[in-house]
Structure formats: structure tokens, C-alpha cells
Amino acid sequence: MRYTFAIARNGADEAGEEQKIKEMPVWKSVLYIAGGLAGLIFGGQLFVDGASGLARSWGVSESVIGLTLVAGGTSLPELATSVTAALKKNPGIAIGNVIGSNLFNIFFVLGCSATVSPLPMGNINNLDLSVLIASSLLLWLVGWFFRKRTITPA
């Protein structure tokens, strides 16, 4: 994450300069995409297995680990992208990234999951309900507090 901030900070100074786009052969791009996808799948599985193992060894509910550690960890790429865009004075990308990521997760990922296997509506856990209510109230308070502010490119 420190690397991302360093790139964003240096990039903000050079925003006025036109940069040459580096071209890459197609085979190299495909190799990078395949390697990144393999790393994402392997790393994600390792992360979830590790978090579940920690929850069991510490005697903490897996729901608590899922609501905190895993949820935060899966949001870090969007956070890094939004911070980089904001530091480069490009608020449209920052907001589009957050909204687009959430819409994609809700509609595409949930839709694919429901297509593969029906998603039963089970009993809702008190902890899940509490987190839902608290996060909704927090979002409403932040929206109310910043209601007169607008995001404009600087």
C-alpha cells in the first residue's frame, strides 16, 4: 500500500506532463493476466482458509472474522485505487470505482452464485443484523454531515 501512495504522490506532480504509453506484446499481456488470475485465486483461498483457521484457534466466531478481517481485506484494492485517484485529483475515478465495485459485487457475483446454486434465505444472525444497522446508520450520518459538499475536479 505504501508503494501505491508513493506512485500517487509522484504522479500528482507530473499530472500536466503527457506521458508516453508503453506498449506490450499480446502474449506478455495474456501471461500477466493469467498469472494475476492464478495468484488471485490461490491467494484468496489461502486468505479465507487462514482467517477461518485463526477464528477456530482463537475461539472467535467465523462470522466475526468474516465481518471484519475478510471484508476489510477484500476491500483494500478498491481503497488503494480510490486513494490513488483522489491524490491525482481525479475524483470521478475514485467515486466510479467504489460505486462500480459495489454494483458488480451485488449484481454479477451474487447473480453468478445464485445461478450455480440457489441461495437460501436462512435465519439472520443477531450479529449480522447489528452490523447491518450500525453500518447503515454510519453511512446515513456521513451523508448527512457532508450533504452540502460536492465533488468537483480541482
CA distance 61 to 153: 44
Question: What pLDDT does residue 30 have?
Answer: 93
Residue 27's pLDDT band (boundaries 50, 70, 90)? very high
Report percent pLDDT > 90 for the chain: 8
Indicate whether 22 pLDDT > 60.
Answer: yes
DSSP code at position 152: -
HSE-up of 74 (CA within 13 Å, CB side)?
16
Give me the pLDDT at residue 4, please. Answer: 58
Please give the model's pTM, rounded to 2 decimal places.
Answer: 0.45
Cell of 36: 494475476
Task: Over range 136-151, report the average pLDDT.
Answer: 81
Distance CA 28, CA 84 (A): 26
Measure the CA–CA gap between 12 and 64, rounded to whole angstroms.
38
pLDDT of residue 9: 64
For residue 153, the model assigns a pLDDT of 58
CB neighbour list of residue 28: distance below 8 Å, 6 or more residues apart: none
81, 97 contact by CB (below 8 A): yes
Cell of 152: 468537483
Helix, strand or coil, per DSSP, at residue 81? helix
Instruction: Provide the pLDDT for residue 17.
Output: 54
64-68, 84-88, 107-111, 150-154: least confident range = 150-154
Cβ within 8 Å of residue 85, ≥6 positions away: 91, 92, 93, 94, 97
Q: What does the alpha-carbon distance between residue 132 and residue 65 come to, in Å, rounded to a whole number?
A: 15
| Residue 16 pLDDT > 70 | no
